[in-house]
Amino acid sequence: MRTLLAAALVAAALAQTPTVATPVWSVTDGLDSPESVYYDAASGFVFSSQIGGDAAARDGNGRIVKLTLDGKVVDTNWMTGLNAPKGLRAYRGTLFVVDIDEVIGIDIAAGRISSRVKTDAKFLNDVATAPDGAVYATDSFQNRVYVVRNGVASVFVESPKLELPNGILVEGDTVLVATDGRPGRGGAGTPGSLFAVDIVTKNITQVTTQAIGTPDGLESDGRGGYIVADVGGGRIFHVSRTGEARQIRQLDRQPADIAFVPSRHLLLVPHLGLNRVSAYDLSDLK
C-alpha cells in the first residue's frame, strides 16, 4: 500500500512539473556567458553580448556576437574589447550596450564604437531606448535608473521600491522596470516584481503583485502585455496589461535578457549559465 501511495505521489509531482520547452534552434559556438540578445529589425541581425568572465570585471574579455534570425553565426567577434557587456537595444542604426558603468553606442553598419558615456553607476545591467532618442539604463547595485540625453548621463530615478532593478523597457511615456528583489528568511524580504515609472512625474506604480521569480529580461508582447524571464527559476512569464501573471514556459537554466520578435512569434533567449542562445516558438501566446 505504501509503495502504491509513494508511486502515486511521484506521479502527481511529475504531472505538475512543467515540461522543459524544446528550442526551435540553439547556438553554442563562440558563446561565453551570453547575457543579452537583441533583434535589430533594421539590419535583420541578432546581437548577443558575451560577458566572457566575471560580470563586474574590467578585463577586456567582453564582446558581442552577430547572428542571423534563424540561428546562424555570422561573426563571433563582431565587437571586441568590452569588459562585461550586458543589455542591448538599438535606435536609428546605433546599438547601445551597457558595460559596468558605461553606456556604449555602436554604429551597426560600420561595426565600430561611435560613443561612450561614463556614469557613476556600480553595475549597469540593462538598457532601453525611447522614441526621442533618450537611453535608459538600470543600475542594479544602487536601485537607480540612469538616462542619457545628448551624450550626458544623469539619474532618472532612484528608489527603494526598485530593489535590484534589472530588465528595462520604454513604452510611450512610461519606463517599465523589472526588479529582482531580495530574499529574506521565513518569506520576508522583497520579491521580484514589475514597476512602471512615469517619465514626466517620476511616479512609480507596481504593475503586478503576483510572483514572477527573479525577473531579468523584459519585453513587450506587442499587444500591451509583457514577457518576463525568471533568471533564477528558468521560467518565462506573461504579464497582462492588468497585471495578471502566468507562467508560459519552463526553460533550461538562467534565461537572462530576452528578445521577442512578434512577427515570427519567436522568443530569443540567452541561457547565461549554458553558454547558449536559443529561440522558442510562442505562437500559442494569447
Q: pLDDT of 239-252, one tens digit each? A: 999 999 999 999 99
Query: What confidence score (pLDDT) does residue 59 get?
Result: 97
Share of the chain above pLDDT 90, in %: 90
Q: What is the mean pLDDT of residues 206-232?
A: 97
pLDDT band, residue 189 (cuts 50/70/90):
confident
Per-residue exposure over 97-131, b if at least 16 CB sit within 10 Å of its own CB, e if not: bbbbbbbbbbebeeeeeeeebebebebbbbbbbbe
Q: Is the pLDDT of residue 211 over 90?
A: yes
- Is it the case that residue 279 has pLDDT exceeding 50? yes
Query: So where are the chain's domains?
Result: 24-281
Measure CA of the first residue to CA of the last residue in the chain; give whole Å: 44
Convert 66-93 to b/e letters by CB count within 10 Å (16 or more is b): bbebebebeebebbeebbbbbbbbbbee
In the predicted model, what is the mean pLDDT of the chain? 93
Contact between 29 and 76 under an 8 Å Cβ cutoff? The reply is yes
* More confident position, 143 or 187: 143
Are 35 and 256 in contact, with CB atoms under 8 Å apart? Answer: yes
Distance, in Å, from the CA atom of 121 to the CA atom of 65, rounded to the nearest integer, reads 25
Place of cell 558605461: 102
Answer whether residue 3 shows pLDDT above 60: no
Q: How far apart are CA 67 and CA 38, in angstroms?
A: 10
Q: What angle do CA 85, 88, 92 make, to 5 degrees?
A: 130
CA atoms within 13 A on the CB side of 101: 9
Cα dihedral 218→221→225→228 (10° resolution): -30
CB 35 within 8 A of CB 79: no
Q: Does residue 230 carry a pLDDT above 70?
A: yes
Q: What is the pLDDT of residue 15?
A: 42
What is the per-residue pLDDT for 187? 60
pLDDT level of residue 6 (50, 70, 90 thresholds): very low
- Burial, 260: exposed, middle or buried (Cβ in 10 Å; 0-12, 13-18, 19+)? buried
Segment 32-86, tens digit of pLDDT: 999 999 999 999 999 999 999 999 999 999 999 999 999 999 999 999 999 999 9
Selection from 82, 49, 89 nearest residue 66 by Cα? 49
* pTM tops 0.75, yes or no: yes
Domain 24-281 in CATH 3.40.50.150? The answer is no
